[in-house]
């Protein structure tokens, strides 16, 4: 898991080890728990916190287009993981930026590392082309130094970096859709030997319910079908160029934002694999392989869509029907997978 | 996805040398994290969004120079805001922000209101009164 390691000394002399991750929130949660003496990998956190999801939110606009998410709400993974592992956590939002910054300084001065949720636009260490107004990036603040703050961003960088106090305040308190309002969180106490099997089962059951049982056709497997049918109708309804624009927007959520590939489907497959080792269950391993196949189908959807977008001015070889069809296939396969997973869970023992 | 299928497209101008984590299966069927240099599908959709942003910004800049919009509209778009969120950042009601996007009304604003906008947009008061003559990146 650890591809590159950098160590930092915290305010109270403890050592912090930077580890890279594929997704910001799970990476941060994994690092926070590791700092408290509980070593869980990123996929494991992702599974226990029920990170995998699908949702289409036409009523929340981001750069003018509806949000299609492949994961649960930002912030929920940490909350759920902590609850299922019986960890005590501190988690707070602030009305006043001044108070939020003071509180952060107070906490890191004691040598406790804290995670903050930020808006990417205001972070100057980000690549310029990735800086869009999106409030949902998490990283860990280690200590204060002459440039502002020393931070560890598990998704983006292979090393720790500096972030100025101005950037930090603007990023934490930026206004916009899904604003973070200075959200800051860290575990206070973590049980070093929690019941991981029980936590895994709770996490997997919750995942199945999220994907199958939400009675609104915008979420879970139903949401996938809804979006897929919409994609097929787009070229007629919106015109070819606008349809391409919307399709590209979905792809950005699937691939661009630190998903570990195929909209988190590969991370979840990695989780199922780890869980199969934990429970010694062959069925879970088979499901993991099945999830990998689904991930590959999502990748194919991305490739087909990108071909549609590339040829938007010339002759058409790939069609929206094909892209939407691939998504329908994904929906069907995922529905079967989560139903199977639910059956497998009932045979597992804690 | 196998390790050798993890895309390693060379796109230095896109992600500035930063690698993304990708989960992939190794030869023994075990999942590992593999850093990816970049994928052209990623780059394509990001380029589309960037181009769209720059094109809209350029259009607004020309509209300001032509006297159809106030410079506030340009800087609002530069910071990727809409009147609702610019208003919240600056502490000014949304309907007032929308009014201030009209050049005639913007020209009559007093310094205290301009300062609020300048602070919210992270520019100086002087900068806020004009737009750059040439288009520029961020």
Nearest CB among A22, A248, A306 relative to B22 is that of A22
Tokens found for residue A97: 């930026």
A18, A42, A129, best to mutate vs chain B, most B CBs in 10 Å: A129
Domains, chain B, in order of start with CATH, read 3-38 (no CATH), 42-129 (1.10.260)
Question: What is the 3-class SS of B18-82, one letter each residue?
Answer: CCEEEEEECCCCCEEEEEECECHHHHHHHHHHHHHHHHHHHHHHHHHHCCCCCHHHHHHHHCCCC
What does the pLDDT look like over A240-251, one tens digit per residue?
A: 788 888 888 888
SS3 (DSSP) at A51? coil
Q: B44, A309: Cβ pair inside 8 Å? A: yes
**A303 in B contact zone (CB under 8 Å):** yes
The count of other CB atoms within 10 Å of the CB of residue B18 is 18
Alpha-carbon gap, residue A170 to A173, rounded angstroms: 5
User: How large is the average pLDDT for residues B50-67?
Assistant: 88
* Contact in structure between B72 and B100 (CB atoms under 8 Å): yes
Q: What is the ipTM of this complex?
A: 0.82
Radius of gyration of chain B from its Cα atoms, rounded to whole angstroms = 21
Alpha-carbon gap, residue A106 to B66, rounded angstroms: 51
pLDDT at B138 over 50: no
pLDDT at A221 over 90: no
User: How large is the average pLDDT for residues A177-195?
Assistant: 85
**A129 in B contact zone (CB under 8 Å):** yes
A171 contact partners, CB below 8 Å, separation of at least 6:
A118, A119, A120, A121, A122, A123
* Residue B26, min C-alpha distance to chain A (Å): 12
Q: Residue A1: its pLDDT value, please?
A: 38
Q: Residue A300: its pLDDT value, please?
A: 85
Average pLDDT, chain B: 84
Q: B40, A127: Cβ pair inside 8 Å? A: no
pLDDT at B95 over 90: yes
**B19 in A contact zone (CB under 8 Å):** yes
What does the pLDDT look like over A70-121, one tens digit per residue?
A: 888 778 888 888 888 888 888 889 988 899 899 888 888 888 889 998 888 8
**B25 in A contact zone (CB under 8 Å):** yes
Alpha-carbon gap, residue A145 to B23, rounded angstroms: 34
Length of chain A: 350
User: pLDDT tier at A316 (50, 70, 90 boundaries)?
Assistant: low
Task: Please name the residue of chain B whose CA is at the shortest distance from the CA of residue A263.
Answer: B22
Q: Residue A315: its pLDDT value, please?
A: 58
């Amino acid at each position: 898991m650890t591809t590159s390691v950098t160590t930092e000394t915290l305010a109270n002399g403890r050592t912090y080890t930077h580890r890279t991750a594929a997704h910001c929130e799970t990476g941060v949660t994994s690092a926070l728990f590791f700092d408290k003496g509980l070593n869980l990998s990123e996929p494991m956190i992702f599974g226990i916190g029920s990170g995998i999801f699908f949702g289409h939110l036409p009523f929340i606009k981001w750069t003018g287009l509806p949000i299609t998410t492949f994961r649960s709400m930002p912030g929920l993974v940490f909350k759920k993981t902590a609850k299922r592992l019986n960890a005590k956590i501190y988690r707070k939002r602030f009305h006043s930026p001044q108070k939020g910054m003071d509180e952060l300084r107070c906490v890191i001065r004691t040598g406790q590392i804290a995670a903050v949720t930020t808006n990417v636009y205001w972070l100057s260490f980000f690549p310029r082309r990735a800086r869009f107004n999106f409030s949902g990036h998490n990283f860990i603040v280690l200590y204060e130094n002459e440039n502002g703050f020393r931070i560890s961003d598990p998704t983006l960088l292979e090393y720790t970096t500096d972030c100025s106090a101005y950037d930090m305040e603007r990023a934490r308190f930026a206004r916009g859709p899904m604003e973070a309002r200075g959200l800051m969180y860290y575990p206070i106490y973590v049980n070093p030997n929690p019941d991981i099997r029980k936590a895994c089962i709770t996490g997997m059951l919750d995942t199945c319910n999220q994907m199958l049982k939400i009675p609104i056709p915008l979420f879970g497997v139903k949401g996938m079908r809804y979006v897929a049918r919409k994609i097929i109708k787009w070229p007629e309804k919106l015109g070819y160029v606008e349809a391409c624009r919307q399709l590209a927007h979905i792809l950005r959520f699937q691939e661009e934002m630190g998903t570990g590939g195929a909209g988190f489907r590969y991370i979840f497959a990695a989780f199922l694999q780890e869980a199969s080792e934990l429970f010694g269950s062959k069925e879970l391993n088979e499901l993991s392989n099945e999830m990998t196949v689904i991930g590959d189908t999502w990748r194919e959807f991305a490739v087909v869509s990108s071909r549609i977008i590339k040829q938007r001015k010339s002759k058409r070889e790939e069609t929206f029907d094909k892209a939407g069809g691939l998504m329908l296939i994904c929906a069907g396969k995922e529905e079967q997978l989560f139903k199977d997973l639910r059956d497998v869970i009932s045979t597992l023992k804690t | 996805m196998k390790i050798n299928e993890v895309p390693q497209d060379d796109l230095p101008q896109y992600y500035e040398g930063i690698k993304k984590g990708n989960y992939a299966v190794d030869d023994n069927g075990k999942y590992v994290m593999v850093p990816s240099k970049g994928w052209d599908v990623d780059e394509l959709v990001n380029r589309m969004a960037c181009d769209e942003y720059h094109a809209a910004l350029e259009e607004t800049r020309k509209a300001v120079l032509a006297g159809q919009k106030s410079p506030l509209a340009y800087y609002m778009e530069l910071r990727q805001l809409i009147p609702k969120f610019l208003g919240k950042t600056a502490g000014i009601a949304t309907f007032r922000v929308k009014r201030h996007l009209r050049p005639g009304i913007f020209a009559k604003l007093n310094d205290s209101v301009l300062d609020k906008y300048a602070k919210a947009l992270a520019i100086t008061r002087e900068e806020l009164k004009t737009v750059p003559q040439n288009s520029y990146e961020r």
